[in-house]
Structure 1
């Protein structure tokens, strides 16, 4: 017998309240997660609607007490069903519980009190209203007379305006209502976070390249073809205008659009441009908004009051009823990957949501992720190129400065001689400057300022991390060495960890250029709700000469007055303890360089680096993405790193150190035994002999008896189809996490490498089953992360 867990009230507060029903055999084929069903409910068995959120063959109570589903609705999958199906996809692909997945795709975190807007209007004819006014005047009822006179001059007035502006008491208003002279109607008043934006119109003519993309995508759309498209456009090539041209047609066809942006810092400029083009049919979501503002935007989307939602990752789950297009701008950004379980990637979940809602997907970036570009090369995505800057703007001139040579010239400043002279030149010309401090990955790495060598793990080819105990550790495999006092390559004493922040840079700028007007944009200066907008608008309005910041200043901003970008210590991100270090360096440098010369004046970029010959630096300077991609993919294939293969990180956490160590070892052992059993089954291709693997002791790790009793390993292997492609999983670790203890919680990590993603999902499913039946994991928390964006 098959059973279904059904939810009858879809809200965050009620996600835990599911009810189990049996599925009649005739309905089993159609009873999938997400479908709407009709069920008997309560003591009176009244017929109500619900949604299937889970399936099982195990009853939770006595089978004779379980009621049966009455029927399955066949009018297509409504938006609630789509979101539940999407949650099931997230749970299956990324691990965790169905409840966690549901809470991820249900956007509202808590209920918020709605704002009621009350409207007062006349309930009688104009003649009777005038008679009532004359009578109030005679009786010297001044408040009533004021209100009646106001209604004679205006058909309706807001209740709050009557109280606050006309200074009329609620008692007076209610007495007129009771006498039938006026009526009061209530409507929900939604907070609009962008209501104050400019209403100037915005239109632009597309160049040939832009128009070609718009025409091709819209032709597919009109013919019912739904694809995932990747737009690779150099910085300043006008990707936003392409998005707008496509969006315009999609919303005219009566469907809705979600546009994801990577960070809150992009919201101001992006929203202003969209508001000028599409008016109040757009809205935004971001973490700086109040709970009330977020609630209202979700309600506006549900009610059809808006057509376009703009926001970061969470905006992907906007409950539009007829979603036609999802755009992911700057798709390479790491913020599209969730750091909290379930650790989903917005790109893959967007593609799934597109399948469920019959929507097209557009990805855009000047520096696409290797994952997206590889899929385009493999034909999974359709690839477009934008090779020219919009409005005929010129590509900036780029200079690479070798900081090792600056050190030889006794220049120990953060400004090279070239950058200093160019800053002075721009200040004289009253042109603007951006100084970008590449701090990503800086913490804990050790490098030589004399020769540029960074200390790396010989096994994993990622930078070792300095620890206060005087050792350098690899956070992938646990390899460690003592921290050196001199460079092992050149013998220099200039080997140490790096430690320059934006405040220090600001102080140095003010010291070197005391007349300059300076703004700083980092985590400290953008804590308030409007900080981003205030800093960006101030710089855009020419109220500062120099803007200093970290990666948040280089992502998508368009300042026509900027003619110089200085990139300080460009290669810091090359030293991150992460296999994506070169990719992130290329992306940051190319994006930073792209901020210069976006107006009429030609821009100039200075890249300061200790490794001027590194391919990530040289290709970023020329914005040659294809050359970088080919070089980096060779490295990824050699090391079996994504996207050439896939990685699953397993993070194990516990308050007891011995528990976390044992649990990590058990999981590593379980993976090895699963791998043996799987390979042997594939070799034999005899499903009827699967039980033999238990009998022969092939599955030999602790707790095996308990595991056998519950039939988990047999059931698991029986339910997975045989495949001629054998799994070849590499196991790295377990080892202490980068932060081995956090808030009194001990942390260990295990990495699995495998070319086929499906095998890692199978292992994840198997380990989740093992964890549920093993006593050792009751004191542990285990998280799965597929193709992690950061090392643990």
Structure 2
């Protein structure tokens, strides 16, 4: 019987093509094979996606040959791609592309023969860390420290071309700290990273909580766990022990962490325990390096993948565990098609292959905690720190009273007092303000008009380079504007950003050393690690930053954490505003009170009675959850209902209005049961990058009801597809 297969061309394409399997290849062809086909009279490579029935048309071409290369994807991965497509209402191909190697359109056999110079360590990681600390303390050797950290961040081995040319490399080679050798790109140097695991203890003494949790995960017949562990409870050691068990069973593991947490210090924990078996996937890798990592994983050389969201789709075989740290993080939701959530997809993957899924957090996502309370997910708790410390003193400052007393600055008297005391004690300070720039609002003094981006319906932010920036589309303009309403040249600069906080601090404390960590100061590769290293080495007294500073950084000498405004997230028109506020404040509060010291946390707010702030004083997630879940239930928000958002974008408001009118009429005639539909209406941010934005929000207890109405609307959108782009977001992370 003749077989037929659907294949995906090894280049960007939006459809599958059907080919016939000739008799001599009948027992050779399998899903995931790389094959050679004739396409438009040219020989091309393609990937076998699935077997299919004989098509109802003639002249089907034969497959020319099957290349002797490892499978690009498996049947399980194809099935997951179908599930992603069905659930998130995206095309099957957009889901399948998630699993394909970087640069698949350039794939050929030559890739396996390319030789590249690689740099790797010649000594254990603890010895390298000692050199890093030594070199960071001296400005003349700081560049050598940066080179060592870059190698560590890349997994202990990095292409020479990815490092800046400098005398530091020659010096490090002479000192026998690093080595350079030529290798094939399809494999890494034989000694790459092996030394990393030498000289490091293969595990710490476990606490009672850790031992209990590890035993439960390994021995339980259940496969889906939510590990609720307070900051400092030792969740990472639990992950490492679970991975050790998985490897002993001949299986592999994926560990997802937020991108911002992929620091050399974090990765060193995995390298020191598992050496060359670790591959790292993150956004700082060049396309070539991403491909090399992919090949290491595909070949079976690496059985552990640590990385951000996209690492979930690595070509690991025999998957035994998926671990998602800080599972509450919104960065696990992709904001481009396919708009998947990594936690949801990880659940499907684990079920498909029989792997364990462990979600870890000190402040779990409300939806996940709800299902853990209901027994759908196995709940595990680690309520105590590994090294007990006195609880941090948390002070909430009512900024309304500060205003009434005549203080109109960014710093309350209480905050200034605690900063002074902390500096006197020789301790460091972290200040959080989740808004970058200098002044978020530029307002005409004459008529009150706010300056907005000409391409977006959002205010322009003044930065300290005297340039106005749009943080949505990147538009910028010199700060010499005329008011578009009244032509006045007089403006008031309102609000506060990280740059303004930096300036105000200098007026209070002119001699202190300040570092700032936000998107503006961390644009270049290695800049984030450099800032963290300098602060850790004591080269600055105060670190100012956005939410980036709250993410898992561990500094011994931080005695005070200050939150300049706890209201930034709270004031957003989003049902998750309270959850995000509580989570962020809890995270940043955990940056103090380390190594047996009791720290202080000062939170400034205009909403001291909001439960997301008042319950921070008790450091009791359960109480916050109880309040939040009542709010969600009263308004029928997730987890009590499912949401889907359809976003419509166009250069013309008129086109959007016409489409909205047509959808309104359709929905009037066609009544859908078991759901609520809001809109079409302008989105809260009604214009971005010169495109107007409208949206529809669909709420239902049934995902199938949502899918039904979205599919029924598709013909209307197709009618307008030349002028209007439409996007589907199932389980949206926000509704802005």
1:742 match: 688
In 1, Cα distance between equivalents of 2:193 and 2:734: 34
The structure 1 residue matched to 2:376, chosen from 370, 375, 380, is 380
Q: Structure 1: 5+ residue runs without aligned partners?
A: 24-33, 70-76, 120-159, 161-183, 447-464, 469-495, 677-726
1:620 match: 616
2:721 match: 777
The structure 1 residue matched to 2:697, chosen from 751, 755, 758, is 751
- Correspondence 1:85 to 2:79: yes
In 2, Cα distance between equivalents of 1:281 and 1:668: 56
> SS of the residue aligned with 2:215?
helix
The structure 1 residue matched to 2:579, chosen from 570, 580, 583, is 583
- Correspondence 1:392 to 2:376: no
In 2, Cα distance between equivalents of 1:346 and 1:398: 34
- Correspondence 1:767 to 2:713: yes
> SS of the residue aligned with 2:617?
helix
Q: 1:188 to 1:734 in 2, by over 3 A?
A: closer
Offset, 1:658:
2.4
Q: Does the CA-based 8 Å contact 2:198-2:272 persist in structure 1?
A: yes
- Correspondence 1:297 to 2:293: yes
Q: Does the CA-based 8 Å contact 1:234-1:623 persist in structure 2?
A: no
In 1, Cα distance between equivalents of 2:254 and 2:53: 34
In 2, Cα distance between equivalents of 1:650 and 1:81: 31
1:116 match: 115
In 2, Cα distance between equivalents of 1:370 and 1:498: 34
In 2, Cα distance between equivalents of 1:186 and 1:790: 46
Q: Does the CA-based 8 Å contact 1:4-1:52 persist in structure 2?
A: no
Q: Does the CA-based 8 Å contact 1:282-1:307 persist in structure 2?
A: yes
In 1, Cα distance between equivalents of 2:441 and 2:641: 26
* Superimposed CA distance per residue, residues 498-524 of structure 1 (whole angstroms, 9 cap, x where no aligned partner): 621111111112221222221110001
After the TM superposition, which of the residue ranges 662-671 and 311-320 deviates more from structure 2? 662-671
Offset, 1:56:
9.4
In 1, Cα distance between equivalents of 2:639 and 2:493: 30
Counterparts of 1:671-686 in structure 2 under 5 Å? 671=667, 673-676=669-672
Counterparts of 1:280-359 in structure 2 under 5 Å? 280-359=276-355
Q: 1:198 to 1:17 in 2, by over 3 A?
A: same
1:403 match: 399
> SS of the residue aligned with 1:212?
helix
Offset, 1:67:
7.7
Offset, 1:391:
1.7
In 2, Cα distance between equivalents of 1:414 and 1:791: 29
> SS of the residue aligned with 1:573?
coil
- Correspondence 1:424 to 2:420: yes
Q: Does the CA-based 8 Å contact 1:675-1:729 persist in structure 2?
A: no
Offset, 1:105:
3.0
> SS of the residue aligned with 1:434?
strand
In 2, Cα distance between equivalents of 1:440 and 1:575: 16
Offset, 1:321:
1.2
Offset, 1:617:
0.3
1:788 match: 732
Offset, 1:107:
4.5
In 2, Cα distance between equivalents of 1:227 and 1:443: 49
Q: Does the CA-based 8 Å contact 2:436-2:498 persist in structure 1?
A: no
Q: TM-score, with normalisation over the residues of structure 1?
A: 0.70
1:592 match: 588
In 2, Cα distance between equivalents of 1:17 and 1:761: 22
> SS of the residue aligned with 1:514?
coil
- Correspondence 1:98 to 2:92: yes
In 1, Cα distance between equivalents of 2:716 and 2:5: 22
Q: 1:467 to 1:728 in 2, by over 3 A?
A: farther
Q: 1:213 to 1:443 in 2, by over 3 A?
A: farther
Residues matched between the structures, number: 603
In 2, Cα distance between equivalents of 1:185 and 1:368: 46
In 2, Cα distance between equivalents of 1:759 and 1:445: 42
* Superimposed CA distance per residue, residues 132-183 of structure 1 (whole angstroms, 9 cap, x where no aligned partner): xxxxxxxxxxxxxxxxxxxxxxxxxxxx9xxxxxxxxxxxxxxxxxxxxxxx
* Superimposed CA distance per residue, residues 269-312 of structure 1 (whole angstroms, 9 cap, x where no aligned partner): 31022222222321211111111111111111001111221111
- Correspondence 1:20 to 2:14: no
In 2, Cα distance between equivalents of 1:195 and 1:291: 25
> SS of the residue aligned with 2:567?
helix
In 1, Cα distance between equivalents of 2:578 and 2:623: 13
- Correspondence 1:188 to 2:185: yes
In 1, Cα distance between equivalents of 2:722 and 2:260: 39
> SS of the residue aligned with 2:538?
coil
* Superimposed CA distance per residue, residues 189-242 of structure 1 (whole angstroms, 9 cap, x where no aligned partner): 65799899796515311110111000110113xxxx351110111122121111
Q: Does the CA-based 8 Å contact 1:646-1:754 persist in structure 2?
A: yes
1:134 match: none
Offset, 1:672:
5.0
Q: TM-score, with normalisation over the residues of structure 2?
A: 0.75
Bigger Rg over Cα: 1
> SS of the residue aligned with 2:562?
strand
Q: Does the CA-based 8 Å contact 2:547-2:584 persist in structure 1?
A: yes
Q: Does the CA-based 8 Å contact 2:37-2:46 persist in structure 1?
A: no
Offset, 1:36:
6.8
Offset, 1:528:
1.1
In 1, Cα distance between equivalents of 2:242 and 2:633: 36
2:674 match: 728
Q: Structure 2: 5+ residue runs without aligned partners?
A: 22-29, 40-44, 64-70, 119-159, 161-180, 443-456, 461-491
In 1, Cα distance between equivalents of 2:182 and 2:204: 43
In 2, Cα distance between equivalents of 1:732 and 1:675: 14
